[in-house]
Amino acid sequence: MLSNKTIVLGITGSIAAYKGADLASKLTQTGARVEVIMTESAMKFITPLTFRSLTGRPVVTSMWDLASEFSVQHVALAEVADVVVVAPATANTIAKLAGGIADDMLSCTVLATKAPVIVAPAMNVNMFENSITQDNLAKLIARGFTIVGPEYGRLASGKMGRGRFVELEKILGTISQVLGRGGDLAGKRIVVTAGGTREAIDPVRFIGNRSSGKMGYAMAEAARDRGAKVTLVTAPTALPEPVGIEVVYITSAVQMKEAVTKATVQCDALIMAAAVADYQPKSAASGKIKKAVAGPELSLELVRTPDVLSEVKGNFLRVGFAAETSENLIEHARKDELERKQLDLVAANDISAPDSGFDVDTNRVTLIDKQGNMQELPLMTKREVADKILDRVVELLGKKSPREMTVEELYDNCKERLKALGVRLRGSNIGGFYGYYKKKYTLRVTQMEDALGNQYCTIDVRKADDSWMGEKKITDEQTLGKVINNYIKPRIVELEKQH
Ligand code: CTP
């Protein structure tokens, strides 16, 4: 998903600079164009040649290098960037960015760019905890920068503390998430379930299944990367926690039902990729079952678990998976899943095939909707399958009447949609926030309540001289979409033309 994107990667003088090389390599492997800018002190730790070899692109090390294609126009990289990532970021660079100092190519680029900026701090624990650094980070957050990390762990000084450069997977996840803002699921809330539930026999043993959780995690990440707010309700898996997703950990089918009920109170779609156990022991033994007591044979009495998909109620889109080993896969998916569970879409897959189903990275599914339309997909990665399912989710959500949103959600959505258009946040006040677009317009979003107690938001636009250009009332997702498309976007396009 990062292919065709231009990522400007800023490397600063931290001992973690060598991990920046790994990051540059991983980003290049995704198909992104990676333009590296190194600060003077970064070059004391690692050489530009390393980055040049890994990215296949020249590395910018100075504003005054006449041979560089970028130094002539010192903000060229700021303009081509889809995202700027400063990783690792030292306390010094963070202070410069927070203070608007532009005395080297990296700080110039960050100050000049309209693209989102991600900062991954790495430093000594005392430097990180110092209130000056904390204030600087708070300033960056208030201006719409995304901060990822640092983590707690062993530092270069040998001490333990918070300051350790965050895991690269987290940076990669954050980049995908930030670039996905304003995608076709922007403003939507999606609940995804994953993994196989475990039903306790005693404190040590359980009844489980072979689900790895890979399909559900891929679904959750794909939805995130298309702009959705995602809650992932997951049974135990061996997978790392995804970034930018609210994760709820559960173990049993009963717990899954509870968590899904809670998560779907405000949601547009529920996608049940979890393998939920259909039966659980009638009662779990409180102590470990001993052979000497149980004897040569042990019988377990099993009872049905709740059927999460059919029992959780609400006005949201429902997507199920039908995992079968039978030849009547499609028939079962149609009758049992779509009809009995009242689903909008079902993804049927034959889990007996070696390349689809449990614990592999690929899947082969057939999508069947309520109207009986069938779409047989070829063998794909689970991530590709997830995107195909989400294509249908977007289409089906478009046909559905929008659900009611809380004013807080509406407010958040206004913010996200404006951010995606390149509006930089400047600060917030109670019940509202404001941002500016290229210093020409100020946009203010406010939460309001009318005399009858109906809550809504307003977006008002002012010119740089503070002259008022009008206010638009946002009562739901649809009016928000209209205001963004018919009112805000044309003004931004007009402004781009003038430049
Ligand atoms: N599911 C659920 N709650 C359950 C069992 C299944 O919500 N207790 C969901 C699964 O997450 C999946 C769909 O229902 O999206 C179908 O699950 P599957 O196990 O394939 O089928 P079942 O409905 O359990 O049918 P069967 O009797 O064939 O097991």
- Reported as a single tens digit per residue, the pLDDT across 395-422 is 999 887 767 777 777 778 887 787 777 7
The reply to whether 390 falls in a domain is yes
Tell me how far apart the alpha carbons of residues 425 and 443 are, in angstroms, rounded to a whole number: 9
Does one domain contain both 377 and 469? no
Does one domain contain both 126 and 257? no
Does one domain contain both 224 and 132? no
Kindly state the percentage of the chain with pLDDT values over 70.
92
The reply to whether 1 falls in a domain is no
Out of 257, 278, 326, 385, mutate this one to test ligand 1's pocket (max ligand atoms within 8 Å of CB): namely: 278
Does one domain contain both 148 and 11? yes
Q: What number does the ligand 1 atom closest to the CA of 323 have?
A: 20
Ligand 1 site residues (CB inside 6 A) read 253, 272, 274, 276, 278, 305, 307-309, 320-323, 336-337
Distance between Cα 376 and ligand 1 center (Å): 21
Q: Which domain does 415 fall in, by range?
A: 407-498
Q: Give me the active site residues, please.
A: 209
Does one domain contain both 389 and 435? no
The closest of 251, 280, 268 to 405, measured between CA atoms, is 268
pLDDT at 483: 84
Mean pLDDT, all residues of the chain? 88
Where a domain ends, among 178, 210, 237?
178
Q: What number does the ligand 1 atom closest to the CA of 277 have?
A: 8
For ligand 1, atom 24, name the residue with the nearest CA: 278
* For helices 17-29 and 168-180, angle between their N-to-C axes, nearest 10 degrees: 50
For residue 25, give the CATH number of its domain: 3.40.50.1950
Where a domain ends, among 341, 366, 399?
399
The reply to whether 165 falls in a domain is yes
For residue 454, give the CATH number of its domain: 3.30.310
Does one domain contain both 206 and 125? no
pLDDT at 495: 67
The reply to whether 331 falls in a domain is yes
The reply to whether 155 falls in a domain is yes
Q: What digits encode the pLDDT tens for the residues 220-253?
A: 999 999 999 999 999 999 999 999 999 999 999 9
Tell me how far apart the alpha carbons of residues 150 and 182 are, in angstroms, rounded to a whole number: 27
Does one domain contain both 320 and 464? no
Number of domains in the chain: 3
The reply to whether 162 falls in a domain is yes
For ligand 1, atom 9, name the residue with the nearest CA: 309
For range 425-430, the mean pLDDT: 57
- Cα–Cα distances (Å) from 284 to 206, 236, 250, 292, 480, in that order, read 9, 19, 17, 18, 50
The reply to whether 475 falls in a domain is yes
Out of 211, 308, 326, mutate this one to test ligand 1's pocket (max ligand atoms within 8 Å of CB): namely: 308
Does one domain contain both 192 and 316? yes
pLDDT at 191: 98
Structure tokens at 15: 């001992």
Where a domain ends, among 144, 178, 212?
178
Does one domain contain both 148 and 252? no
Distance between Cα 55 and ligand 1 center (Å): 46
Does one domain contain both 326 and 242? yes
For ligand 1, atom 17, name the residue with the nearest CA: 322
Distance between Cα 275 and ligand 1 center (Å): 7
Distance between Cα 244 and ligand 1 center (Å): 28
Out of 307, 313, 332, 339, mutate this one to test ligand 1's pocket (max ligand atoms within 8 Å of CB): namely: 307
- DSSP secondary structure letters along 220-253: HHHHHTTT-EEEEEE-S-SSPPPTTSEEEE--SH
Does one domain contain both 300 and 332? yes
Does one domain contain both 120 and 254? no
Q: What digits encode the pLDDT tens for the residues 264-278?
A: 988 999 999 999 999
pLDDT at 375: 92
Distance between Cα 404 and ligand 1 center (Å): 29
pTM as predicted: 0.84
Residues written for the chain: 499
For residue 243, give the CATH number of its domain: 3.40.50.10300
The reply to whether 358 falls in a domain is yes
Q: How many CB atoms lie within 10 A of CB 393?
A: 25
Q: Which residues of 194-225 are buried (b: 16+ CB within 10 A; e: fewer)?
A: bbbbbbbbeeebbbbbebbbbbbbbbbbbbbb
